[in-house]
């Protein structure tokens, strides 16, 4: 739920958020008895976390269509929503086609604001000012 709120992702991606959270927990949460992560217990080695990215981050999957021509866009705009269960690919929501795709050919832009636009009139986490935050604490 927090991942969806923070990224302002649409609610139909809730299952993707849960799958991504479980995947990351298996790589990061340490079992107290063994002082190892679940991944280390199963595979006998520390996990490689260099491929992790921010849920909801803006990304650009390579456009694999054959009809793009010389001046066509070589990449689409997408939103990172998780990791493939079957391969080392990323799961991306393609904004143009409105479909979920799995691809390894993607560039990430995690420094910009979250990719999804908030679709409700309620104030989001990012839209609250410090004065509003202080008022809620009183």
In a domain, 9, yes or no: yes
Predicted local distance difference test score (pLDDT) of residue 115: 52
In a domain, 124, yes or no: no
Where in the sequence is the domain holding 68, given as residue range(s)? 2-115
> CA Rg, the chain, in Å?
18
Which residue is listed with tokens 């981050």?
A: 57
10-65: pLDDT as tens digits: 888 899 999 999 988 877 877 788 888 888 888 899 888 888 898 988 999 987 76
In a domain, 13, yes or no: yes
Predicted local distance difference test score (pLDDT) of residue 66: 61
Please check whether residue 90 is in contact with residue 82, taking contact to mean a CB–CB distance below 8 angstroms. yes
In a domain, 108, yes or no: yes
Domain count, the chain: 1
Dihedral Cα 104, 106, 107, 109, nearest 10 deg: -110
In a domain, 134, yes or no: no
């Amino acid at each position: 739920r927090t991942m969806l709120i923070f990224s302002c992702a649409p609610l139909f991606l809730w299952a993707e958020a849960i799958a991504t959270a479980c995947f990351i927990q298996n790589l990061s949460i340490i079992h107290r008895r063994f002082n190892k992560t679940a991944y280390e217990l199963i595979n006998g080695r520390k996990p490689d976390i260099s491929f992790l990215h921010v849920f909801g981050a803006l990304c650009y999957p390579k456009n694999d269509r054959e009809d793009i021509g010389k001046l066509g866009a070589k990449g689409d705009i997408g939103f990172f929503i998780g990791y493939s269960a079957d391969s080392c690919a990323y799961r991306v929501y393609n904004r143009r086609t409105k479909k979920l795709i799995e691809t390894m050919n993607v560039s990430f832009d995690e420094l910009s604001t979250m990719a999804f636009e908030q679709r409700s009139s309620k104030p989001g986490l990012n839209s609250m000012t410090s004065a509003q935050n202080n008022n809620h604490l009183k």
